[in-house]
Amino acid sequence: MKICESAKSMCAGYATYAEYAKKQVAILRKNQKAITTTIDLLDRRFAGIDVDGVYMWPDVNVATGMVSLEAGITVVADSMTTGVVMQILKAMLDMECEPVSTADNVTVTDATREYRFTRPATDRYLKLSLKVSVAIHESATATCRKVQTGTTMVEVPQFKLECQGE
């Protein structure tokens, strides 16, 4: 019966995933001290800096045993050259992080600048990536402003459903 074969296949898939997850947990436990040390370092470096949000998650490569720790910081600022942004960028450099890229994302409602850093592995199995997202707060004293530089018209196909005999 096809339903039984499908159920067996599904159960086998879950068992395979469970084995994979078990390996991920083992790698995380093996690297727990390095991960905890890195998180403590981030806590110390960013103590006293007013941030709006922080997130962090690990990514485990079972084949290599490497843990990539992704950390993100979100702030709202009206200047890229003074205040909280400079405090964060200085903290990154003090942690021996290497700048990777900078990207601006400007939409009708938002303007953000994203800074990406990486920190050389202090432990051969732990890589740290950091992302700082700065939302531009438009105010009278703002040194950065969202400026419209033009318009773009895009043709979007329109569809409807037509059925024979209706």
What lies within 8 Å, CB to CB, of 34 at 6+ separation is: 67, 122, 123, 125, 126
Q: What is the pLDDT of residue 166?
A: 66
Confidence at residue 158, expressed as pLDDT on a 0 to 100 scale: 87
Instruction: Tell me the one-letter amino acid at 133.
Output: S
Q: Are 114 and 147 in contact (CB under 8 A)?
A: no
What was the pLDDT predicted at 16?
79
Among candidates 71, 91, 83, 42, which has minimal Cα distance to 133? 71
What pLDDT sits at residue 121?
Answer: 65
Per-10-residue mean pLDDT of the chain, 166 residues long, equals 70 77 82 79 78 80 81 80 81 83 81 83 70 74 73 87 76
In whole angstroms, what is the distance from residue 142 CA to residue 136 CA?
8
pLDDT at 77: 80
pLDDT at res. 111: 78
Which residues sit opposite 67 in a β-bridge?
A: 60, 126
Given the candidates 3.40.1350, 3.30.460, 1.20.5, 3.10.510, the CATH classification of the domain at 31-136 is 3.30.460
Whole-number pLDDT of residue 122 = 62
The pLDDT assigned to 15 comes to: 75
